[in-house]
Amino acid sequence: MTHRATGFLDTFLGVLRQKNLHRDLRTIQGPQGPWVEVDGRRVLNLCSNNYLGLASHPQLAEAAATAARTWACGSGASRLVCGNMALHELLERRLADFKRTEAALLYSSGYAANLGIISALVGRGDFVFSDAFNHASIIDGCRLSQAEVIPFPHNDMAALEERLLDGSRSSPRARRLIAVDGVFSMDGDLAPLPQLAELAERYEAMLMVDEAHATGVLGPEGRGVVAHFGLEGNVPIIMGTLSKALGGFGAFAAGSLQLREYLVNTSRSFIFSTALPPPVVASALAALDLLQADPGLPGRLQEKARLFRARLGEMGYDTMSSATQIIPVLVGKIDMALEMSHRLLEEGVLTVAIRPPTVPQGTSRLRVTVTATHSQEDLDFALEAFRKVGRRVGLI
Ligand SMILES: *Cc1c(COP(=O)(O)O)cnc(C)c1O
């Protein structure tokens, strides 16, 4: 049905299709895993953030089922009303211990956490210094805060310092926040946290690190990228998610007791949203148990990713500055990235073409992720498909 006032929908979608920027939903028929079923075919899944394979781990399923029967399927209200259950506080205690912070506070998603944390910490008259490659949820958090956003080129510490030095931004009353992805979601490289912590200290700015792609996969026991750099205790605001390596859903802020108390009192996406359901909380607890029972798991994943990256490089692919399980395969043009992704799917390999505006113009890419549940045969199969398709389209 068309209404005159919504006629723009059709026009807009037509233009997107014309520019090859239209996004389509793909349906996964069976469960998540290293192989998934798409259009009736089993294909190798190289685009999931389920880095440790925990999303389909029987122990998580068991914990979720038991929690549903014991506690409830839903939490009934926001935390400040009557949704604050003992289970939430237990998980927060475990997460704080895991991140080596005094406290942690749960949010319903990573997206909600970044919106709620940033907009609580800074406001009108304040400044946020934001890496140009930061995740959309950090960008949206900055916008929502109404602070002045000062972007700096990706990982460029000299440029950041120049911006911090600007006297007009050093009013003693203004708060200053530096916000970065610890592991960049489309590039798989690391933020230079030692330098960031030093700059934050020198220029009296708060430092916030998003550990969405670092939690569970980097540092000792998978404690994250802050731990990887030995900076525990030096980053006042850590944000992490339960939705990627931990295989579930939800997110958290980790920091001081005062930070937690401040967020409970001011963070609108925490205050005005229903508490996480008990099964979700219980599965996160089970994921932490599994991770802590096998502390070598993150290291084995990184070694697997390093080998895969090296083999792609030998083949002639440019994996940009990836240093983690997220491996961008640079293509350049939008059309060619789409074509490669289609051809790889024909070969039985599921990847996604990442295009502007998610990444800068001219850097369209396939974002490949290696997970702990991929076998060496799986990865060899993927490499063979990359060789064949890359030659066919003339990229390698
Ligand atoms: C995925 C992601 C988020 C959002 O987390 P969700 O739990 O999926 O909402 C936030 N930050 C980064 C860097 C991410 O990659």
User: Any idea what the CATH number is for the domain that residue 226 is in?
Assistant: 3.40.640.10
CA of 241 to the centre of ligand 1 (A): 7
Instruction: Using DSSP bridges, classify how beta strands 127-131 and 176-181 pair: parallel, antiparallel or unpaired.
Output: parallel
Per-residue pLDDT of 265-306, as tens digits, reads 999 999 999 999 999 999 999 999 999 999 999 999 999 999
Whether 210 maps to a domain, the answer reads yes
Q: What domain range is 375 assigned to? A: 23-51+296-393
Q: Which of 265, 293, 321 is the last residue of a domain?
A: 293
Is 66 contained in some domain?
Answer: yes
Give the Å distances, CA to CA, from 211 to 81, 135, 151, 207, 238.
Answer: 29, 11, 20, 13, 7
> Which is the closest atom of ligand 1 to the Cα of 183?
13
Catalytic residue, candidates 185, 243, 267, 364: 185
Ligand 1: residue whose CA is nearest its atom 7:
110
Is 18 a domain residue? no
Is 6 within the bounds of a domain?
no
Domain tally for the chain? 2
Smallest CA separation from ligand 1 atom 5, residue? 110
Domain presence at residue 301:
yes
pLDDT, tens digit only, all 396 positions of the chain: 668 899 999 999 999 999 988 888 999 999 999 999 999 999 999 999 999 999 999 999 999 999 999 999 999 999 999 999 999 999 999 999 999 999 999 999 999 999 999 999 999 999 999 999 999 999 999 999 999 999 999 999 999 999 999 877 667 789 999 999 999 999 999 999 999 999 999 999 999 999 999 999 999 999 999 999 999 999 999 999 999 999 999 999 999 999 999 999 999 999 999 999 999 999 999 999 999 999 999 999 999 999 999 999 999 999 999 999 999 999 999 999 999 999 999 999 999 999 998 999 999 999 999 999 999 999 999 999 999 999 999 999
**Residue 185 known to be catalytic:** yes
The CA distance from 98 to 238, in Å, is: 12
Q: What is the 172 CA–ligand 1 centroid distance (Å)?
A: 33
The predicted model scores a pTM of: 0.97
Q: Are residues 78 and 122 in the same domain?
A: yes
Q: What number does the ligand 1 atom closest to the CA of 185 have? A: 15
Question: Quick check: is 3 in a domain?
Answer: no
Ligand 1 mean position, distance from CA 112 (Å): 9
In this structure, the answer to whether residues 320 and 207 fall within a common structural domain is: no
Residues 216 and 107 in one domain: yes
User: Does the C-beta of 108 come closer than 6 Å to ligand 1?
Assistant: no
Distance, first Cα to last Cα, the chain: 47
Choosing from 293, 322, 343, the residue where a domain stops is: 293
Residues 172 and 262 in one domain: yes
Residues 305 and 270 in one domain: no
Residues 188 and 156 in one domain: yes
- Decide whether any atom of ligand 1 lies within 6 Å of the 341 Cβ: no
Last residue of a domain, one of 264, 293, 322: 293
343 and 226 together in one domain: no
Pocket test for ligand 1, best of 138, 241, 325 (most atoms within 8 A of CB): 241
Catalytic residue status for 244:
yes
Asked whether residue 250 falls in the same domain as residue 301, the answer is: no
Cα(113) to ligand 1 centroid in Å equals 9
Q: Is residue 108 located within the same domain as residue 148?
A: yes
Reading phi first (left if > 0) and then psi (alpha if -120 to 50, else beta), residue 391 is in alpha
Name residue 252's beta-bridge partners: 106, 240
On whether residue 255 sits in a domain, the answer given is yes
Residue 190 domain-assigned (yes or no): yes
Q: Residue 217: left if φ>0, alpha if ψ -120 to 50, beta else—which one? A: alpha
Q: Among 88, 99, 244, 374, which one carries the catalytic annotation? A: 244
The number of the ligand 1 atom at minimal distance from the alpha carbon of 249 is 7
pLDDT in tens, 139-194: 999 999 999 999 999 999 999 999 999 877 667 789 999 999 999 999 999 999 99
Residues 178, 317: one domain?
no
Looking at the structure, tell me whether residues 363 and 260 fall in a common domain: no
3-state secondary structure the chain: CCCHHHHHHHHHHHHHHHCCCCCCCCCECCCCCCEEEECCEEEEECCCCCCCCHHHCHHHHHHHHHHHHHCCCCCCCEHHHHHCCHHHHHHHHHHHHHHCCCEEEEECCHHHHHHHHHHHHCCCCCEEEEECCCCHHHHHHHHHHCCEEEEECCCCHHHHHHHHHCHHHCCCCCCEEEEEECECCCCCCECCHHHHHHHHHHCCCEEEEECCCCCCCCCHHHCCHHHHCCCCCCCCEEEEECCCCCCCCCEEEEECHHHHHHHHHHCHHHHCCECCCHHHHHHHHHHHHHHHHCCCHHHHHHHHHHHHHHHHHHHCCCCCCCCCCEEEEEEECHHHHHHHHHHHHHCCEECEEECCCCCCCCCEEEEEECCCCCCHHHHHHHHHHHHHHHHHHCCC
Q: What is the CATH number of the domain that holds 389?
A: 3.90.1150.10
Closest atom of ligand 1 to CA, residue 250 = 7
Return the pLDDT at 20.
86
Active site residue 135: no
Distance in Å, CA 248 to ligand 1 centroid: 12
CA 11–ligand 1 middle distance (angstroms): 31
Residues constituting the chain: 396
Residue 111 alpha carbon, nearest atom of ligand 1: 9
In this structure, the answer to whether residues 277 and 329 fall within a common structural domain is no
